Homo-oligomer: A and B are copies of this chain.
Amino acid sequence: MYEARKKFAHHLADIAGSLVLKYFRQPLSVQEKEDSTPVTVADRTCEQLIRDELRHHFPDDGVVGEEFGKENEHAEFVWVIDPIDGTKSFIAGLPLFGVLIALLHQGKPLLGIIDQPYLKERWFGFCGEATLYNGFVVKTRCCKALSNAVLFSSADETMFADHDDKRRFNNLCKQIKTTRFSTDCYGYAMLSSGYGDIVCEADMKLYDYAALFPIVCGAGGVMTDWDANALFQEKDSGHVLALGDPSMLETVKDILKK
């Protein structure tokens, strides 16, 4: 039941990555959406391609995507896709964007892929299995002290538009040794490979984090909201916290409360 979809997820990442790459570092017709995220032709073309493939091979599965909304979202299997996570990096020529492909089974995260086609890097997570980076097992690292930690965050103007979110996030940053911003999905990838310790983000939609969850968890990390509550709930705060070392959860939660 799972094997066919596992293989198919890689196929989707292959074709999506190839397509997206054709538009990278090329003149783009950047469009404006209501929330003023830059959306490229690549983004829409790619999501359409993925939806067509799914309709053909798994016609009963549901799809949730950033560009074209929800189809059959209460199906047993639902694919959650973001063809270009990190569109701002994409249009700025930075190879930190990623193709995100997730599969939910009965509403629970089963599979996740972060594919960086320019760097030919792929992180693959599957519920109950070890996370793979280009086929090799990766693990998060221990974090002995926040004062030594590396924190990633997209942290752009829209993400922390809420003043209280910004204040709480800044409280955390003050305790951290090294911060890297504008990282999008690539921060979660680096955390999963053991090069960083924390990702803290707000204003996250299902299609932003669904693919990341199995990757972070399968590498030994933990992903919750800022209050350490489970993600994938009906009511979703959009606050996402990923930690490479689960033993830091209480400490970080307490700092984010203030």
Contact = CB atoms under 8 A, between A and B. Distances in A.
A159 B250 CA distance: 31
A102 to B, nearest CB: 23
Interface in A83-127: 88-89, 91-96, 119
A18 interface: no
A196 interface: yes
Contacts of A93: 190, 193, 195-196
B92 A190 contact: yes
Interface residues of A, number: 29
A121 to B, nearest CB: 10
B190 A94 contact: yes
B94 A178 contact: no
A186 interface: yes
A10 B102 CA distance: 44
24 contacts: A25-B193, A38-B177, A88-B179, A88-B180, A89-B180, A91-B150, A91-B178, A92-B152, A92-B178, A92-B196, A93-B190, A93-B195, A93-B196, A94-B96, A94-B190, A95-B119, A119-B119, A156-B179, A157-B173, A179-B182, A180-B182, A181-B181, A182-B182, A182-B183
Interface of A: 25, 38, 88-89, 91-96, 119, 150, 152, 155-157, 173, 177-183, 186, 190, 193, 195-196
